[in-house]
A and B are shown apart, each in its own frame.
Chain A
Amino acid sequence: MVRLPYVTALTTLFSYGLLFAFGQLRDFFRRILDARKPSNLKGYAPICLGLEDFYTRRLYLRIQDCFGRPIASAPDAWFDVVERYSNDCNKTLHRTTATTKCLNLGSYNYLGFAAADEYCTPRVIESLKKYSASTCSVRVDGGNTKLHTELEELVARFVGKPAAILFGMGYVTNSAIIPALVGKGGLIISDSLNHNSIVNGARGSGATVRVFQHNNPAHLEEVLREQIAGGQPRTHRPWKKIIVIVEGIYSMEGELCKLPGVISVCKKYKAYTYLDEAHSIGAIGKTGRGVCELLGVDPADVDIMMGTFTKSFGSCGGYIAASNEIIQHLKLTCPAHIYATSMSPPAVQQVISAIKVILGEDGTNRGAKKLSQIRENSNFFRLELQKMGFEVLGDNDSPVMPIMLYNPAKIPAFSRECLRQNVAVVTVAFPATPLLLARARICISASHSREDLIKGLEVISKVGDLVGIKYFPVEQEKTTAVDKLKKIQ
């Protein structure tokens, strides 16, 4: 649970109110100045009317340099951030050729497969020469290669399900699968903090959507009872089927899903479960098999398991693992399988090699080392941040840790100051998070060494003091936090 001090809430609201007032003032003057100029729309309605893009124009553009920073190297533990400059107060940003080497605390590189890897990259280059960069064809026509079939079997074996199906993009996996599984007359119950791709898929399916409180199996049970007893809206016919959608790790909170509770509720009420493991597959669990392994849930209890290859496997694309019948049904009806270009063969080979490394089938124990490294790194980093007095969210073992900032002015301050000291962090604000709860999100990787983490902690502590985000200081001891870290080193 997020603890929000009362004073902080007041100051944050006041800041947003001030920004809103200034924005309105500038809009007013802009309207007066533009009334003189003839409109260049020539009878067409404007693309954005009135207040639709107020947030973009007046709030986001001021701090645009904190987002979308281009990089000039692989997103490994250290990378080169391209410097940009602006001549008109951040309205337009221009690239330069200068780069700065920074510590990467923002990319989804959980197991360190992002850059060229000694086992994966030679095999990827070989498959590129054999199959070329793309098959130019949909999967059902001429886009099915030996690599795709091999990967589907491997993914099914890795996750613990009978069969799997691949797609070229994680976002499309959710948006195109959910309509194929449930349609009008069905009910989708999704967690209130689910990702945009799930929301789009649920909306595109035509089924009724209800939301339950984040990570609260008791509220899920209430919603299920109410909905089954009430039936479809207006006609009160019984629902055709009910699907409950949850995620393994929620990317903005860093929390693990309460999966055993959710599964037991769903089993009791005969609802189907859909687990989106975009961030958790490969990153947690003793052998990297995700949140089911960590929480001791049998994969056979979850009806459909979805995941992406972008985060832990350093590639692109997504998969669905389920029983044989469901996968066959999806192969016949899912639009992303029938109409979308099949996954690029080098990307497929990268995932195959990455899974082989994780399972230890490449003949070394690099996989086991990476898995234990990311677990140690995450726990160490989180503990140290909490000891320093930051408000850090997320459960133990989760490699995603948001640090709360709250105040809108602290977002650019934290981001720019960290960049000045060569640490690259990601800051997130409205609309990806609630208005008052802006945060900086850290993603730990297995390729971070202990020295990297300590440097990151030093910089964050210094910047945290400057910016004033140590909301919950632990009792002061004789030695300061930074000195303690030097002792550990």
Chain B
Amino acid sequence: MDMALPVVNATAAVLARVSAAFNAPLARAVVFGVHIDGHLVVEGLLIAVIVFQLSRKSYKPPKKPLTEKEIDELCDEWEPEPLCPPIKEGARIDTPMLESAAGPHTIVDGKEVVNFASANYLGLIGNEKIIDSCIGSLEKYGVGSCGPRGFYGTIDVHLDCESKIAKFLGTPDSILYSYGISTIFSVIPAFCKKGDIIVADEGVHWAVQNGLHLSRSTVVYFKHNDMASLASTLEKLTRGNKRAEKIRRYIVVESIYQNSGQIAPLDEIVKLKEKYRFRVILEESHSFGVLGKSGRGLAEHYGVPIEKIDIITAGMGNALATDGGFCTGSVRVVDHQRLSSSGYVFSASLPPYLASAAVSAVNYLEENPSVLANLRSNIALLHKELSDTPGLEITSHVLSPIVFLKLKKSTGSPTTDLDLLETIADKVLKEDSVFIVTSKKSNLDRCKLPIGIRLFVSAGHTESDISRLSSSLKRVSASVLSDY
């Protein structure tokens, strides 16, 4: 208590002095007519301190780049993954080996089988006229064309083939590509750039997906073959979006989806496209030479004038029994690709004998439209005979030459499903000599549609071939799927 009192007295004295100083006449000076009170000095000092602190540079820890020794250590420590992952046990690598042409009857691993694994829709494999035109071409031009189209790789048969296809379809011009799968993934990036909008079906195959990825545009998928989903997607994208007028917009669909066998309803798509001002890119690999009264494709099938479809692409490795692909459309569309399509400019051109095979195939189709009626009756017969297969159901369209069989009840895991289907296919081949295949997927493929057994029907199949297939399939699936 004694110590506290002097401290209290001292503090009180100091405080009195300070307040006196503040109340001193000096503190009450009048500058320019403004009273300066003592607290203004304190505030002035505070402002000065704040300004001083703000003006100093903030503290940044010094940047120390890695020394050479540290980089050496990091490089020594780093361990890469192996270039390829280890192969899973039981993965199927060996494929059946054909020893003759892949026609309706072929020789696999030494045995004669009925072939439902080749997309030889018009039965043109082994056709005499086509083989003769190829031989003539081979003797005149050799095999390869030895150069890209821009550098002496354009041979007169290429130009003949392009004009033949354009005349057949009724379009102004067409352009040839040297490989079926590269057609669509070169066409899409040639037209769609960053900032464009693409609406695509979710069931498109890998080549289309790759093209969409390479184009760097905004891609919106709609439900597989569902026109209501397409309409609502288009509405959502264009509603209230004034900028949508200036951006290029595309719809990408396939005519016959090779992942499911469905056929795209082109008349509805054209109506939607005209309403919302989108351009249509139609992939017709499996419908060219198959659909329509004379085989001119999906547009003829639905009675849509061909000018309404902006870009049509197709691979020629199916109905035309040759290789390569083409794209057709208006003159502007085709000319644009001759300089900006990477698969056309930077790659060697189609071998001339395949181009002359294409010309002969189109000639054959023009002269013998009855082959389409054969194909259609075969498909109808197959549908009828396979409608009551135990455990499997047909999910493809009734006119599609790809007949897609799915498991009625999935086991829940895609790998077990695939195993079951592969077992069925193997047994059918071994026991009944009918060659069928399952749909295979790469792990890079983003399509989520279910897998199944794919049967490729040809106009060259006879009724007995089809009955052999259906009886064998019914028997084997009954035995394999009896537990599920």
Residues of A whose CB lies within 8 Å of any CB of B are: 42-45, 47-49, 53, 56, 60, 67-76, 79, 81-82, 95, 104, 106-109, 113-117, 120-121, 124-125, 128-137, 139-146, 149, 168-172, 175-176, 179-181, 195-197, 200, 203-204, 224-226, 228-229, 238-243, 269-272, 303-304, 308-311, 313-316, 325-326, 328-336, 338-341, 344, 346-347, 350, 424, 426
Report B-chain residues with C-beta under 8 Å of the C-beta of A175: 182, 185, 210
Given contacts A48-B336, A71-B155, A134-B125, A341 and B143 within 8 Å (CB-CB): no
A316 to B355, CA, bound (A): 13
Interchain CB contact (< 8 A) of B74 among A79, A171, A229: A229
Q: Hey, what's the 0/1 contact readout for B97-109 against A, CB within 8 Å counting as 1?
A: 1111111001000
Contact for A171 among B96, B347, B444, CB less than 8 A: B347
Number of interface residues of B (CB under 8 A): 110
Query: Which residues of B95-133 have CB atoms within 8 Å of chain A's CB atoms?
Result: 95-103, 106, 115, 117-120, 125-126, 130-131
Complex CA–CA separation, A406 to B82 (angstroms): 46
- Contact yes or no, B98 A144, CB < 8 A: yes
* Whole-angstrom CA separation of A137 from B339 in the bound complex: 30
Q: Give the docked Cα–Cα distance between A7 and B353 (Å).
A: 49
Segment at the interface with A among B36-44, B292-300, B434-442: B434-442
Q: A74-B141, A109-B146, A125-B135 are in contact. Are A338 and B248 (CB under 8 A)?
A: no
Apart from A107-B146, A136-B118, A335-B207, what are 14 other A-B pairs with CB-CB below 8 Å?
Answer: A70-B158, A106-B151, A114-B144, A131-B100, A133-B131, A133-B323, A135-B102, A137-B120, A143-B118, A225-B71, A228-B74, A315-B144, A340-B207, A347-B143
Interchain CA distance A334-B206 in the complex, whole Å: 11
Q: Is B87's CB under 8 angstroms from A142's CB? A: no
Cβ-defined contact, B342 with A316, below 8 A: no
Question: With A128-B131, A200-B214, A228-B78 known to touch, is A328 a contact of B245 (CB < 8 Å)?
Answer: no
Bound-state Cα–Cα, A103 to B333, Å: 34
Identity of the chain B residue whose Cβ is nearest the Cβ of A179 in the assembled complex: B444
Q: Does B138 lie at the interface of the complex (its beta carbon under 8 Å from any beta carbon of A)?
A: yes
Question: Smallest distance from the beta carbon of A333 to chain B beta carbons, Å?
Answer: 5
Q: Which of B229-237, B313-321, B386-394, B470-478 contacts A (4 or more CB under 8 A)?
A: B313-321
A-B pairs with CB below 8 Å: how many?
A: 334
CB distance from A105 to the nearest CB of B (A): 10
Stretch at the interface among B173-181, B260-268, B377-385: B173-181
Choose from B91, B100, B152, B343 the contact partner of A69 (Cβ within 8 Å).
B152
Which of A42, A60, A116, A346 touches B139 (beta carbons < 8 Å)? A116
Q: Which residues of A contact B419 (CB under 8 A)?
A: none
Taking the closest CB of chain A, its distance from the CB of B157, in whole angstroms, is 9
- Tell me if B332 is interfacial: C-beta within 8 Å of chain A: yes
Q: Is the CB of A315 within 8 A of B152?
A: no
Given contacts A47-B333, A107-B146, A346-B138, contact A341 B353 (CB under 8 A): no
CB atoms of B277 and A136 under 8 A apart:
no
Give the complex CA separation of A314 and B153 in angstroms.
Answer: 12
CA distance A326 to B442 in the complex (A): 15
Question: Are A197 and B97 in contact, with the CB atoms below 8 A?
Answer: no
Determine the residue in chain B with the shortest Cβ distance to A76. B142
Residues from chain B with Cβ under 8 Å of A145 in the complex: 97-99, 102
Task: Say yes or no: A339-B348 contact (C-beta < 8 A), given A179-B444, A316-B144.
Answer: no
CA distance A134 to B322 in the complex (A): 5
B89 CB-CB contact with A under 8 Å = no
Closest to A113 in B: B142
- Pair B140/A270 contact, Cβ less than 8 Å: no
CA distance A68 to B339 in the complex (A): 11
Query: Are B277's CB and A43's CB within 8 A?
Result: yes
Residues of chain B contacted by A136 (CB below 8 angstroms): 102, 118-120, 125, 317-318, 321
Contact present for B143 and A340 (CB under 8 Å): no
**CA A244 to CA B210, docked complex, whole Å:** 23
> How far, in angstroms, from A308 to B147 measured CA to CA in the complex?
12
A113 CA to B323 CA in the complex, in Å? Answer: 21
B118 near A142 with CB under 8 A, answer: yes
**CA gap between A242 and B348 in the complex, in Å:** 30
Chosen A-B contacts, 27 in total, with CB atoms closer than 8 Å, are A43-B277, A47-B332, A48-B336, A53-B336, A68-B338, A69-B154, A75-B142, A107-B146, A108-B146, A114-B142, A121-B138, A128-B353, A133-B357, A140-B440, A141-B440, A144-B96, A175-B185, A229-B75, A310-B144, A314-B146, A316-B350, A326-B83, A333-B443, A334-B442, A340-B179, A344-B351, A346-B353
Contacts of A304 on B, CB cut-off 8 Å?
83
- Find chain B residues with CB under 8 A from A53 CB: 336
B304 to chain A, nearest CB (A): 17
A95 to B156, CA, bound (A): 9
Cα–Cα distance between A176 and B443 once the two chains are bound (Å): 12
Q: Residues of B contacting A238 with CB < 8 Å?
A: 78
* Cα of A90 to Cα of B336 in the assembled complex, Å: 16
Query: Once the chains bind, are A338 and B441 in contact (CB under 8 Å)?
Result: yes
Nearest Cβ distance between residue A2 and chain B, in whole angstroms?
Answer: 21
Q: Assess whether B240 is interfacial by the CB under 8 Å rule.
A: no
Contacts of A271 in B (CB 8 A): 80
Contact residues in B for A49 (Cβ distance below 8 Å): 246
Question: Which residues of B are found within 8 Å of A45, using beta-carbon distances?
Answer: 245-249
